[in-house]
Amino acid sequence: MKQFFSLTILSLLALLYASTAYSYGFGDNWQYAQCSYKKSGKTVWVNYKHVGVDRMAPAGRQVVVWDHVYFHQKHLDSDPRWKWAVVADTFDAKATYLFMHLENVPNFQVGQDLYGQVIGTVADQGSNSHIHASYRGKPFNSSMSYKGALPPSICTDGRSGLPNYPEAFASPNSWVYQVY
């Protein structure tokens, strides 16, 4: 089953061979990271908030970009569960797109137009194989552009060293899904 999704306002199109199911949406509580705050003298733990959209997809399926975005870099996460990520810039390098949980990522040249290119395959994560896609409305930043989740505004102790959700990530409410 072919599926493409796009950021209609931002003009990103990506083609996936995937289902319409998703595991995490934008702003969902993300179970893999938490922060704490004090309430009435007690420590309260809360989950980070997800800053992209996760679409379930069979492992090994190709991910193809169908818009003019420009390769910035690929990154192998230090946590082996998350695999490879690809960051692409807009034409003016004022915003970035992130695709995570990939394998078989080619060696692109910095600045290479990714239009029509296979940027990798969906990584095998067992029954949770999926791709994470997000948009960040700021230029590339090595400490932010690869984030999949951020602490909520209630976690203001600053211990995480991260800005609060959503920072400059865009809500996928503007994403349109079509299944073929």
Per-residue pLDDT, 105: 95
Per-residue pLDDT, 42: 92
Number of domains in the chain: 1
- How are the residues of the chain apportioned to helix, strand and coil, as percentages rounded to the nearest 5? 5, 45, 50
Tell me the CATH number at 144: 2.70.70.10
Consecutive 10-residue averages of pLDDT for the chain (180 residues): 33 39 78 85 90 88 85 89 89 89 95 91 91 90 88 70 86 41
Phi first, then psi: what are they for 174, rounded to 5°? -90, 5
Q: Is the pTM of this model over 0.85?
A: no
Q: Yes or no: say if 19 and 57 are a contact pair by the CB < 8 Å rule.
A: yes
Q: How many other CB atoms sit within 10 Å of the CB of residue 116?
A: 11
Alpha-carbon gap, residue 89 to 160, rounded angstroms: 26
Q: Which domain holds residue 92?
A: 3-179
Give the H or E element holding residue 34.
strand 29-39
Per-residue pLDDT, 72: 94
Alpha-carbon gap, residue 167 to 125, rounded angstroms: 28
Per-residue pLDDT, 124: 94
